[in-house]
Structure 1
């Protein structure tokens, strides 16, 4: 089956379709990706911690933004893994490098998350 680019929805219908596909992807991630489940838990724990600390609005925005950035990196990492696995399950140096680079992106996002928390905690 081939994708027909001329039959893509337009206008508001396109937005509805995009939202539906995005929600389907998030649902799949929560059901199938343990790292993403951990990051959802990280978000929930962060929200509770911010409440307990009675953090200010800018601290809330920074921590939530950093946590969502970790989740964003994980989504891209998972997309890379899915594409590499779709191309073939044979072991190849470039396949490994692509997966490693995706993992490195998640690591950088987690470092940013940790730095934001350091800034939040030292403000108290």
Structure 2
């Protein structure tokens, strides 16, 4: 049996907001990626392209934040389990970093491809 309270939308939302605040306080990479999101959202809104392209750009942009959040959760869990250097802990953290790396590749390829079609075709 799981030790979990009944679902409550407002409590669950507060947990999510607490997580975001904690990321902002402690994770430099998350802050940098959030700045990128804030700077590019107006571009996304005003760019002259199809709705599908805008959705792809939006998903790839927020995918970076999602990946960084997953990576931070992995790193914190590993640190909770052990603070000593262990090869499996390193591997888990490296895989978390790979998630972020892949999300950045998806973001860059998506945005560059769409900009190429808009400006050079």
**Which TM-score band (shorter chain)?**
0.7 to 0.9
Q: How many residues align?
A: 118
Equivalent of 1:86 in 73, 80, 84: 80
- Using structure 2 for the length normalisation, give the TM-score: 0.87
Tell me how far 1:51 sits from its aligned partner.
4.5
Equivalent of 2:6 in 4, 9, 32: 9
In 2: Cα distance, 1:99 partner to 1:27 partner: 22
Unaligned runs of 5+ in 1: none
CA contact (8 A) 1:46 1:63 kept: no
- Using structure 1 for the length normalisation, give the TM-score: 0.85
Equivalent of 1:62 in 56, 61, 68: 56
Are 1:50 and 2:44 counterparts?
Answer: yes
- Find the counterpart in structure 1 of residue 69 from structure 2: 75
Q: CA RMSD in A?
A: 1.8
CA contact (8 A) 1:43 1:64 kept: no
Cα shift readout 1:54-87 (whole Å, capped 9, x = no counterpart): 4443332111111111111111100010011111
Tell me how far 1:52 sits from its aligned partner.
5.5
Question: Runs of 4+ in structure 1 displaced over 4 angstroms?
Answer: 4-7
Are 1:110 and 2:104 counterparts?
Answer: yes
In 1: Cα distance, 2:4 partner to 2:45 partner: 47
